[in-house]
Structures are given as structure tokens and as C-alpha cells.
């Protein structure tokens, strides 16, 4: 049966918003709907993320825990019936937090809830103790004279991050987290503090990576929780000099990380690969349930739901659990996405599209497709299938993916995005609070349902996402 036949059911849909031709046949669309509905009550995703986070807890990149979790996940995928399950190792400069503490010192000492930023160096033995100079914008820190913060600790506090459905409050503040330590060091500061990049008011700091300059993070750098940042601000307002003691034994070490790769081989076009990506590593403070155990759960759950459809899809579905997404420092090492790309070589051309789930476990609300597919027939069919579970077409095409599939995207592989509700994501992200209990199983399964239906449509489609991409010159 031609996939371009305008079927009865699609014709019915077309009454509301007509489109010229179908990219899928009727049976494929109906199966997508059936798989979607069945996935809403699946157990696979919740089982995977429960076992992963419970058995291994935090999984920092390159740690024994990440390695053990990868080995376990490979067995888990084999037991689910995936083929060609491999663990692809790569070298990594790991980072261990060690012991750390922070406090306001003086007549009325107060503990501070702090966490070293990823790849931050430890403090000298005995710690760093100095007056805090507070900046309410990054520009204000940049504006002071080089060397003028000698014997001081720089604190940048631009206020609470705004919670947004699309997470758009995050970017501006992480840029400060990335560039802050180097700028503070140039000004002479002995340590760098940043108000946690997060939208909550818990005494749980948000860690996260910071940028290497000349092969390292310049000075010991820490996130302070929002209430602690507010406390420092109020003490300064009361006219007090705030002196802070910071201690950290954080350090880097040589290790390895790994990607776990598992296929559901295509029936008729096995060399056309659809990548479903997420990452296995987590920050060390929580157990990485929402970041990003959930992503693995969603993509594994979707692929497994498709495997149970009774007929293998035409194209190959590849689940990749990437290693080392969180602490990649490109200057000295790589992340899992880069390692996968390098390993594939010419086979990158076989990757027809890639998607990544790395934004928690809350519901999907929008579908973004590669630019050439935006507004086309495939999008129309896909969003009709996804609409009943609350997913609309994104007004923006998807071009970059995230950290894991980003290297594939840069190498020309089209990407899609199933956009998740991030309203509460940054309450939990990179904190000790990123634990299993924060996952809503119903919303997790809505993700599985969306991925299942979309990937089924892609895997049984003739659509060439590459050919529909605008040419680079355009």
C-alpha cells in the first residue's frame, strides 16, 4: 500500500486542516494511536528509572557508579529483547566533590548551604576565608578593575531564576555560572560564589559545570542556595561585613565513561537509524531521576512499546544511554555524544534523525521537527496523533537537539524535539532533591506515549528528513 495514499481516517482529519498528501498509510497511523494509548499504562519506564536510581544512586560521569549502572543497563536492554547491545568506552577526566563546607564567620556564625561547581578545584587546605563582595549583575563583576578583588570572594546574585514552561530562564544564568570563575579570578578573587541557578527556595544548592579556561577552572567555585544568597544580601543591607569560610577537597582524576547502545533493528531498511538519546550520568548530589534517568526510561519505554507492536518497524530504532553529559570539559576530554559521533565515522550518514529526552519527567506539550518538515504532511499527521495526549506542533523547528545528540546535529543529522513542561524542572535540577519521588508516573508515561507514537510514525515512514532540511546556504 502506498504511504502516499490519502486514507479515510486522514481525510477525516483533513476536514479541519486540509493537507495535500499523507506521509503514512492508514494502518501505520492507527497503530501509532494504539501504541500511544497502550503506552499510557506501561510499566517499563517507571521500572527502569526506579531500578536505575535505586540500585546505583548518584552516577557522576566516570564514577564506578556510572560504570556499574551502564553494565546493568546493557543487561536490562538485552533482557528486554534489544539487539546489538554494546558498551562503548571513552576516556574522561572525572571530577569528585570530596568534602565541602561553607559558613558565615564572625560574632554570629551561620552555616551556608553550598555546593562546589563541577570541575571546580578544591580550596587550599584549611579553606578560603574572605569578605564577600556581592554583584547583582555579571556586568558589574566584569566592570571592576583587574586585581581589585584580591583577598575577597566574589558573589554574583542576579536574583531568582524564573520558572518557565520552556525553561528559558535557565540560559542567561548558566552563562554566568560558566564564565564567572574565570572573570572573578582575573579580578583577583580567591573564590567565586553564584546564587544557585534554580527556581526553588530550598536550602539545596544547584551544582552544575563551569567553563574551563586554559585547561582548568581558575578558582574554587560554589553555588549557594537561594535562601543563603538572600541571607548574605540581607546581612550586607544591615551594614555588616560578611566574611565567609569555604572548604572543598574537590579534585579531578583520570577515568573512563561509556555509552550504552541498543538497537531494535529495522525490518526493511535496517541501515536507516533513528537515535533516541538520553544520558546515564547524573550529578552527585541527587540520584539523577529527572536528570536524566527519566530520559532513559522514556526512550527505552518507547522503543520497547514499539517492539511489542507485533511487527518490527521498517527503520532501525537505536536507544543510546550516553555517558558523561554533565561534566564534559571539551578542552581536556569529551562527552558521550562526541564519543559516539567519532566512533560512527562514515556511518553518521545512516542516521536519518535523532531525538533526545533530557528535561525531566513532566509532560510533553509540543513537537518540534527539522526545519524542512515544519508545517509539512508528516508534521500534520504526527501532531494529529499526539494531540489527544496534549501535544501541539511547536512554532519553532528543531535544529540543535541537546548536549547528547548535539554532535550528531552538528554533523548534519536532522533532529526532533518532544518539548517537556519545565515549570518545576529547575526546582530540582542538579540538586540533592533530584530523586525518584519527584517523578509523576502518569506524566512519565505520557512522555512514553508521545515518543512511542512519533517514533513509530518515523520508523514506518518514507520521509527523508535530511532532504527536507534547508540547505546550509539558505
Coil/strand/helix, residue 91: strand
Contact map string, positions 203 to 222, toward a second copy, x by CB under 8 A: xx------------------
Burial 366-375 (b: 16+ CB within 10 A, else e): bbbbbbbbbe
Nearer of residues 15 and 107 to a second copy, judged by Cβ: 107
Q: Mark the segment that binds a second copy (CB under 8 A) among 88-96, 145-153, 229-237, 355-363.
A: 229-237
Q: How far is the CB of 11 from a second copy (least distance, A)?
A: 49
Nearer of residues 293 and 406 to a second copy, judged by Cβ: 293
Q: Are 353 and 414 in contact (CB under 8 A)?
A: yes
The one among 2, 241, 437, 474 contacting a second copy by CB under 8 A: 437
**432 is an interface residue for a second copy by CB under 8 A:** yes
Q: How far is the CB of 305 from a second copy (least distance, A)?
A: 24
Cα–Cα distances (Å) from 439 to 18, 53, 135, 435, 452, in that order, read 38, 12, 36, 8, 19
The one among 107, 215, 395, 471 contacting a second copy by CB under 8 A: 107
- For 313: left if phi > 0, alpha if psi spans -120 to 50, otherwise beta; the answer is beta
Backbone angles phi, psi at 166, to 5 degrees: -95, 5
Q: How far is the CB of 99 from a second copy (least distance, A)?
A: 9
**231 is an interface residue for a second copy by CB under 8 A:** yes
Q: How far is the CB of 110 from a second copy (least distance, A)?
A: 3
Return the residues of window 74-103 that contact a second copy according to CB under 8 A.
Answer: none
Return the residues of window 272-331 that contact a second copy according to CB under 8 A.
Answer: 286-287
Sheet (strand 392-393) strand order: 83-96, 251-264, 315-322, 269-279, 351-356, 415-420, 364-368, 392-393
Q: Give dist(CA 51, CA 72) in Å, integer.
A: 10
Return the residues of window 321-380 that contact a second copy according to CB under 8 A.
Answer: none
Q: How far is the CB of 174 from a second copy (least distance, A)?
A: 22
Q: Give dist(CA 468, CA 229) in Å, integer.
A: 49
Q: Give dist(CA 443, CA 441) in Å, integer.
A: 6
Q: Are 455 and 306 in contact (CB under 8 A)?
A: yes
The one among 226, 250, 354, 415 contacting a second copy by CB under 8 A: 226
Query: How many residues bind to a second copy according to rule CB under 8 A?
Result: 37
Q: Give dist(CA 289, CA 50) in Å, integer.
A: 8
CA angle 458, 372, 446 (to 5 degrees): 40
Which one, of 21, 28, 16, lies nearest residue 6 by Cα?
21
Nearer of residues 48 and 56 to a second copy, judged by Cβ: 56
The one among 86, 136, 202, 443 contacting a second copy by CB under 8 A: 202
Residue 211, all three cell numbers: 567553563
**176 is an interface residue for a second copy by CB under 8 A:** no
Nearer of residues 9 and 231 to a second copy, judged by Cβ: 231
Q: How far is CA 368 from the centre of its chain?
A: 16
**57 is an interface residue for a second copy by CB under 8 A:** yes
Residue 284, all three cell numbers: 552527585
Q: Mark the segment that binds a second copy (CB under 8 A) among 56-64, 182-190, 341-349, 405-413.
A: 56-64
Positions that interact with a second copy (CB under 8 A): 50-51, 54-58, 64-65, 68, 104, 107-111, 113, 201-204, 226-227, 230-231, 234-235, 238, 286-287, 431-433, 435-438
Amino acid at each position: 500500500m502506498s504511504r502516499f495514499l490519502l486514507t479515510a481516517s486522514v481525510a477525516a482529519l483533513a476536514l479541519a486542516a486540509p493537507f495535500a498528501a499523507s506521509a503514512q498509510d492508514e494502518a501505520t497511523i492507527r497503530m501509532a494511536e494504539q501504541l500511544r494509548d497502550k503506552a499510557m499504562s506501561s510499566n517499563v519506564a517507571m521500572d527502569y528509572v526506579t531500578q536505575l536510581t535505586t540500585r546505583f544512586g548518584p552516577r557522576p560521569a566516570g564514577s564506578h557508579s556510572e560504570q556499574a549502572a551502564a553494565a546493568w543497563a546493557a543487561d536490562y536492554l538485552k533482557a528486554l529483547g534489544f539487539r546489538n547491545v554494546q558498551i562503548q568506552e571513552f576516556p574522561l577526566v572525572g571530577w569528585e566533590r570530596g568534602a565541602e563546607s561553607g559558613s558565615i564567620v564572625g560574632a554570629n556564625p551561620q552555616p551556608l548551604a553550598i555546593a562546589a561547581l563541577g570541575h571546580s578545584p578544591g580550596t587550599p587546605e584549611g579553606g578560603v576565608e574572605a569578605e564577600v563582595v556581592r554583584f547583582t549583575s555579571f556586568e558589574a563583576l566584569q566592570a571592576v578593575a583587574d586585581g581589585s578583588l584580591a583577598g575577597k570572594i566574589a558573589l554574583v546574585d542576579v536574583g531568582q531564576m524564573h520558572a518557565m514552561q520552556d525553561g528559558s530562564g535557565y540560559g542567561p544564568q548558566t552563562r554566568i555560572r560558566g564564565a564567572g570563575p574565570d572573570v572573578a579570578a582575573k579580578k583577583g578573587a580567591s573564590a567565586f560564589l553564584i546564587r544557585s541557578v534554580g527556581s526553588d527556595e530550598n536550602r539545596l544548592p544547584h551544582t552544575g559545570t563551569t567553563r574551563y579556561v586554559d585547561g582548568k577552572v581558575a578558582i574554587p567555585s560554589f553555588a549557594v542556595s537561594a535562601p543563603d544568597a538572600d541571607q548574605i544580601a540581607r546581612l550586607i543591607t544591615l551594614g555588616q561585613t560578611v566574611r565567609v569560610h569555604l572548604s572543598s577537597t574537590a579534585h579531578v582524576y583520570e577515568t573512563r565513561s561509556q555509552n550504552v547502545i541498543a538497537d531494535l533493528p529495522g525490518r526493511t531498511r535496517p541501515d536507516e537509524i533513528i537515535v533516541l538519546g538520553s544520558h546515564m550520568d547524573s550529578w552527585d548530589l541527587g540520584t539523577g531521576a529527572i536528570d536524566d534517568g527519566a530520559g532513559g526510561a522514556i526512550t527505552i519505554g518507547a522503543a520497547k512499546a514499539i517492539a511489542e507492536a507485533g511487527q518490527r518497524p521498517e527503520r532501525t530504532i537505536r536507544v543510546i544511554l550516553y555517558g558523561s553529559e554533565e561534566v564534559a570539559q571539551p578542552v581536556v576530554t569529551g562527552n558521550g555524544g562526541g564519543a559516539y559521533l567519532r566512533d560512527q565515522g562514515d556511518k553518521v550518514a545512516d542516521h536519518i534523525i535523532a531525538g533526545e529526552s533530557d528535561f525531566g519527567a513532566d509532560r510533553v506539550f509540543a513537537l518540534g521537527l527539522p526545519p524542512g518538515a515544519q508545517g509539512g504532511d508528516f508534521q500534520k499527521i504526527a501532531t494529529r496523533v499526539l494531540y489527544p495526549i496534549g501535544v501541539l506542533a511547536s512554532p519553532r523547528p528543531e535544529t540543535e537537539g541537546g548536549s547528547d545528540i548535539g554532535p550528531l546535529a552538528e554533523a548534519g543529522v536532522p533532529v526532533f524535539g518532544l518539548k517537556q513542561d519545565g515549570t518545576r524542572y529547575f526546582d530540582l535540577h542538579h540538586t540533592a532533591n533530584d530523586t525518584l519521588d519527584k517523578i509523576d508516573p502518569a506524566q512519565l508515561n505520557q512522555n512514553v506515549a508521545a515518543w512511542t507514537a512519533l517514533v513509530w510514525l518515523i520508523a514506518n515512514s518514507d520521509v527523508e528528513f535530511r532532504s527536507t532540511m534547508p540547505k546550509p546556504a539558505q
